[in-house]
Structure 1
Amino acid sequence: MASELGDRHDKILLEQLRAGHPGAFEQLVASQASRLINLAFRLIGNRAEAEEIAQEGFLRLHRSLDSFRGDCSLSSYLYRIVSRLAIDHLRREKLRRKLFFFRRHEDDADPLELAADSNASPRDNLQAKETGQRLLTALDGLSARQRAVFVLRHQEGMSLKEIAATLSLEEGTVKAHLHRAVRALRAELEDLQEDRS
């Protein structure tokens, strides 16, 4: 029911955008911005760059309004654009730097600090933060596409079919990228698993 309402809202909004209705684009940005920025942040790990990627996603949608056929919802279309922009960004960044989280800006919120358990001991919180930093480092070692597939599956909760549609890949290719990503992350974080046993 909620998705039907969302689809109907997207269709109305699309008609308003194409008709040049004042405020329609701002309404779209307001309704989708935080979701897209959060997606880009999970994919690339930098809040300011995530905001730029989301902004570029909105610009690309605006430029392609005439060619957008409506085969999927506007929100799915934006999700696809931002995912692809983030993958391209990661590929460019890999050429410039090895580990992105060592060069983070101080104003970038650490997702683990935001989700710290208030009942946990300081030692547990420190271990969680260190584990999160190790995971970020391990994620940076993946190819851009493997990282995107892993994040979309395990942090966004998307199905393999949805990931395939978002990234324009075959479902079997998504499975292969996910398998390689999980195998690489397990190998990189093997000592953490041993510590828990």
Structure 2
Amino acid sequence: MGEWVIREALSQLQAWSSVGFDTRVSVNVSGQLLLQPTFVENLTAILNDFPTISPECLTLEVLETSALEDVAEVAETMRRCAELGVEFAVDDFGTGYSSLTYLKRLPASLLKIDQSFIRDMLEDSDDMAIVKGVISLATAFQREVIAEGLENSEQGEKLLTLGCDLAQGYGIARPMAAEHVPEWAKPWVQDTTWQQHPMQQCLRI
């Protein structure tokens, strides 16, 4: 199933590219899939079936808890995928048994702050502290950081001031059919409060 979703994502990128809309997508993958002995070979074959799509347009998201099941083997698989040009994100960062050792060993270029912390960060000082901490960790380890579950302009403005300029959530757009994405993206205008530090939207499958 996981490999089917990756193929469908690349197929959609190809369809969008054919109408002049070039972007990137993120796809969730399980730790179990990454631990399959043939995963890298199968991924290579899938990428070869879409020669017009750069592997850099694909980001694979792995749950923090899944990645920790066998961190050494998962890290090796991630490194081999990175050699193909595919990026990785650690999803729901902060909800598992976060460790600086794991963060050091997993070659992920992106950390995703779980939406449970973003949702109440403006009212809950503990959630705000966690958000600040993850952003600081990402900066220290030279990773990008993405906020999940952005719901309003106030959250976006605060995230930007904290140094997080990547986000996904209803505050940017509601889920929509793939064929509607290009027409939505072209005229999309950011919230006026974000103009000083542009917020980037992330497409996720």
Q: In proportion to residue count, which structure has more strand?
A: 2
Q: How high is the TM-score relative to the length of structure 2?
A: 0.27
Q: How high is the TM-score relative to the length of structure 1?
A: 0.28
| Higher RCO (Cα < 8 Å, 6 or more apart) | 1
Q: In proportion to residue count, which structure has more helix?
A: 1
Pick the structure with greater CA Rg.
1
